[in-house]
């Protein structure tokens, strides 16, 4: 005699025999991504960005200042938004989250060095950056690399899921 077909019930959060955990390095990458997203968006908003009418696409001619301190341009803001998207996308696994934090940190350290060496009024300052940006980029770079050292979860494979009979 055939058993009646039972509909499988959707699993409730936390009811899976294999618990999914998010590693600290993944939380860090996602948090950094959200922070970059906020910075990128605030760079386009009056009230957070002074002299918004002078916001240039790129270059040292942009007179807009995020929080009245940091030079910003459309390019600068879009770079922050791209770092946000990358951080959120790459936070899905410990390995990609760590890669994002290390690579992003290295990029920001190089950006700090670039800002320290470039003539702030010259054409090479296409981002644009100022002294406050340089210090911020140095801090962001160091912070991202430091966060990349956070634990990424265990190296042992997760336990195999056990199928229940009759389910």
CA angle 106–88–27, rounded 5-degree value:
80
Range of the domain at 70: 24-147
pLDDT surpassing 60 at residue 26: yes
Confirm whether 166 is domain-assigned.
no
Confirm whether 159 is domain-assigned.
no
Q: What is the pTM of this model?
A: 0.76
pLDDT band at residue 17 under the 50/70/90 scheme: very low
Ranked by mean pLDDT, which of 34-38, 156-160, 163-167 comes out on top? 34-38
Kindly report, residue by residue over 119-136, the tens digit of the pLDDT: 888 888 888 889 999 999
Confirm whether 110 is domain-assigned.
yes
What is the spatial distance between Cα 106 and Cα 112, in angstroms, rounded to a whole number? 10
> What's the whole-number average pLDDT of the chain?
86
Confirm whether 153 is domain-assigned.
no
Kindly report, residue by residue over 44-91, the tens digit of the pLDDT: 999 999 999 999 998 888 889 999 999 999 999 999 999 999 999 999
């Amino acid at each position: 005699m055939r058993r009646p077909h039972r509909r499988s019930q959707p699993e409730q959060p936390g009811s899976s025999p294999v618990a999914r955990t998010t590693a600290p390095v993944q939380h860090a990458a996602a948090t950094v991504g959200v922070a970059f997203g906020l910075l990128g968006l605030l760079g386009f908003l009056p009230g957070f960005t002074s002299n918004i009418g002078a916001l240039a696409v790129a270059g040292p001619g942009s007179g807009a200042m995020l929080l009245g301190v940091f030079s910003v341009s459309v390019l600068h803001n879009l770079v922050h938004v791209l770092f946000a998207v990358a951080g959120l996308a790459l936070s899905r696994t410990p390995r990609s989250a760590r890669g994002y934090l290390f690579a992003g940190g290295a990029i920001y350290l190089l950006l700090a060095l670039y800002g320290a060496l470039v003539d702030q009024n010259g054409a090479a300052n296409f981002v644009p950056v100022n002294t406050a940006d340089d210090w911020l980029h140095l801090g962001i770079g160091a912070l991202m690399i430091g966060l990349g050292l956070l634990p990424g979860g265990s190296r042992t494979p997760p336990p195999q899921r056990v199928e229940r009979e009759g389910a």
